[in-house]
């Protein structure tokens, strides 16, 4: 086997914090959420959103419940600028929503940014400059002092322009970009300089956003960095610690969750993780993670189909079918053992008085995110008898008894093995009808009349049921009149005497399909023959006795 050149990479530096406290903490409330779909998410799209598409996305984010929304980089292009102006001039921003705009720490960009938010009631000006060793040495070729001066000069200008605007609703956010590549002591030094310049206090907080611009380490190390930073910041009450995690290692959600444990107050992310390279932290996933722990996420994803539709239309991006909580297959089981466990879990939940969700393989109730139970169990060649029964019960009210499930399961398995395709609920129902209800040869029930000749109605064992039947058999018509202790017993006696078949009923179940007064009855029968053969059948009729007799005929027709 060829070995990859792992020696060209170095391990990320750990943090010396032996008395770390975050592993013993729990998340007990939702963080401050900030959506970056319209800025970070948009700039990562092959075809950026138009102004109209951005408006649709903004309205979606507002409806979900975001109170802070980064709406763009208005100094970057005319489209970005126009969109911010449209939000303000068309009064599309609710009073309780704060828009956020991003700008590099460069004078002409900062000034243009302030032009874009003129007239906004509430706005966050998000200033950033890269502070990492790699960027300092390779990209900017500047010293620590020079990089810090960029941050300070930008902060001074933002403060000055806010004062000129007279708008007390403007707040300030600063990001030492590439925080994960920046020495901790230096990141702290830069942020202290920014705080001093801004005049940060408990009444005039600054948002310090510590981004995992490139995810370079395991989430626990990032959490250590956040805890170290929160411990050493000189006036914790004067700052809101925010994190903005990218997903280069595939752990952005875990990184953000552990950052909250480590002291962060605020999370920036995007719907379904859209963003540069491997994407941003997925706010949908993190919010619903909280929901599954009994914590109010303070975001409403109860109509996931609409959220998906708007996202796809505006971004032209798809959502992976296995995407947590939102993918089209995440509540679907094909495995037989999973299907059986889900089916039993759903029935147990329906009987439970506590109301707490506790169903195997489903950490969240699909209905809580606007999904129906229809797609929980889907049938292919990997499926089991329990899953097949679940589909028929949920979709058609046909409750195949446990002893009959293997019989129908074999019929379904034969089709899926032969075709290699998934079967829809309709196809499974059609197969059930064909296998049992539609089994008309070699015996076909033409007429059946049931009457009673009961001399002692109080007796429970009297042979008092009379049945008159006409059946089309393989050699012509078969007619008989027989007596038994019930319709089934009478039919078995008459049929056995006329055909010579040696059989008896050893399993029988019946129920109604639906709950109305005109609901049909369905019966399930298993017969045993004298030669050891078993056969299952089913019958449907408005009369339960006729449904049962039809089920016996079905079972006789399916004898192998």
Backbone φ/ψ region at 514: left (φ over 0), alpha (ψ -120 to 50), beta: left
pLDDT at 60 over 90: yes
> If pLDDT is split at 50, 70 and 90, which confidence band does 444 have?
very high
Length of the chain: 560
Indicate whether 156 pLDDT > 90. Answer: yes
Over 80: is that where the pLDDT of 93 sits? yes
42-46, 202-206, 211-215, 513-517: range with lowest mean pLDDT: 513-517
Q: Residue 397: count other Cβ atoms within 10 Å of its Cβ.
A: 15
What pTM was computed for the model? 0.76
Farthest CA pair distance, the chain: 110
CA–CA separation, 147 and 361 (whole Å): 51
Over residues 48-62, the mean pLDDT reads 96
pLDDT tens column, 472-531? 998 889 999 998 888 999 999 999 998 889 999 999 999 998 766 678 999 999 999 989
Residue scoring higher pLDDT (372 or 365): 365
For the residues 449-458, what does the mean pLDDT come to? 75
User: Is a pLDDT exceeding 60 seen at residue 383?
Assistant: no
Least confident residue range of 171-175, 290-294, 454-458, 461-465: 454-458
Chain segment 526-548, per-residue pLDDT in tens: 999 989 899 999 999 999 999 99
Mean pLDDT for the stretch of residues 13-41 = 96
pLDDT confidence of residue 29: 97
Report percent pLDDT > 70 for the chain: 94
Q: Which is higher by pLDDT, 131 or 419?
A: 131
Paired with 483 in beta bridges are: 466
Paired sense of beta strands 465-473 and 206-209, if any: unpaired
CB proximity list for 459: less than 8 A, separation 6 or greater: none
CB hemisphere CA count around 387 (13 angstroms)? 25
Domain 30-315 class, CATH top level: alpha beta
Whether residue 380 is predicted with pLDDT greater than 70 in this model: the reply is: no
Q: What are phi and psi of 326, to 5 degrees?
A: -115, -15
pLDDT score for 378:
52
Q: What average pLDDT does this structure show over 225-247? A: 97
Class in CATH terms, 444-557 = alpha beta
Taking 60 as the threshold, does the pLDDT of residue 377 lie above it? Answer: no
The confidence score (pLDDT) of residue 385 equals: 65
Residue 7 has pLDDT above 60, yes or no: yes
**Distance of alpha carbon 345 from alpha carbon 331, whole angstroms:** 14
Domain extent listing, the chain: 30-315, 336-434, 444-557
Q: SS3 sequence, 456-478?
A: CCCCCCCCCEEEEEEEEECCEEE
Is the Cα torsion angle 367, 369, 373, 376 positive or negative in sign?
negative
């Amino acid at each position: 086997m060829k070995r990859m050149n792992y020696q060209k990479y170095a391990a990320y530096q750990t943090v010396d914090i032996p008395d770390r406290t975050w592993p013993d903490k729990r998340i007990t409330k939702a963080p401050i959420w900030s959506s970056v779909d319209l800025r970070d998410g948009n700039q990562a799209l092959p075809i950026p959103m138009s102004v109209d598409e951005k408006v649709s996305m903004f309205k979606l984010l507002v409806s979900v419940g975001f109170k802070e929304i980064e709406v763009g980089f208005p100094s970057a292009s005319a489209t970005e600028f126009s969109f911010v102006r449209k939000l303000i001039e068309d009064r599309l921003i609710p009073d309780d929503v704060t828009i956020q705009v991003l700008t590099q720490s460069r004078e002409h960009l900062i000034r243009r940014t302030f032009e874009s938010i003129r007239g906004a009631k509430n706005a966050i000006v998000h200033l950033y400059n890269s502070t990492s060793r790699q960027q300092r040495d390779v990209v900017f070729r500047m010293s620590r002092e020079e990089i810090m001066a960029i941050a300070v000069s930008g902060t001074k200008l933002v403060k000055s322009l806010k004062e000129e605007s007279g708008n007390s609703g403007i707040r300030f956010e600063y990001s030492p970009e590439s925080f994960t590549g920046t020495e901790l002591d230096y990141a702290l030094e830069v942020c202290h300089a920014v705080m001093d310049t801004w005049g940060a206090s408990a009444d005039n907080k600054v948002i310090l956003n510590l981004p995992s611009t490139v995810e370079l380490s395991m989430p626990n190390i990032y959490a250590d960095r956040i805890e170290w930073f929160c411990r050493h910041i000189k006036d914790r009450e004067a700052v809101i610690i925010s994190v903005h995690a990218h997903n280069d290692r595939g752990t952005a959600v875990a990184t953000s969750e552990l950052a909250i444990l480590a002291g962060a107050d605020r999370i920036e992310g995007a719907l379904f993780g859209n963003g540069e390279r491997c994407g941003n932290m997925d706010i949908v996933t993190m919010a619903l993670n909280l929901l599954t722990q009994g914590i109010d996420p303070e975001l409403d994803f109860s109509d996931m189909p609409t959220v998906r539709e708007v996202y796809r239309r505006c971004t032209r991006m798809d959502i992976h079918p296995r995407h947590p909580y939102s993918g089209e297959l995440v509540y679907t089981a094909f495995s037989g053992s999973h299907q059986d466990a889900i089916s039993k879990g759903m029935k147990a939940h329906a009987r439970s008085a506590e109301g707490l969700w506790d169903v195997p393989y489903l950490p969240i109730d699909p209905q809580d995110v606007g999904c129906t139970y229809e797609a929980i169990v889907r049938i292919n060649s990997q499926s089991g008898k329990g899953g097949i029964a679940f589909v028929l019960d949920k979709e058609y009210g046909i409750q195949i008894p446990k002893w009959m499930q293997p019989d129908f399961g074999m019929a379904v398995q034969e089709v899926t093995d032969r075709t290699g395709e998934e079967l829809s609920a309709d196809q499974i129902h059609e197969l059930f009808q064909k296998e049992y209800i539609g089994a008309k040869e070699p015996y076909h029930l033409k007429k059946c009349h049931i009457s009673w000749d009961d001399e002692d109605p109080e007796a429970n064992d009297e042979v008092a049921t009379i049945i008159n039947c006409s059946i089309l058999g393989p050699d012509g018509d078969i007619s008989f009149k027989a007596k038994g202790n019930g319709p089934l017993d009478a039919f078995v006696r008459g049929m056995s005497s006329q055909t010579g078949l040696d059989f008896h009923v050893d399993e029988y179940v019946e129920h109604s399909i639906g709950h109305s007064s005109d609901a049909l009855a369905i019966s399930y029968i298993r017969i045993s023959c004298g030669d050891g053969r078993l056969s299952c059948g089913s019958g449907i009729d408005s009369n339960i006795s006729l449904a049962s007799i039809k089920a016996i005929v079905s079972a006789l027709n399916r004898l192998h």
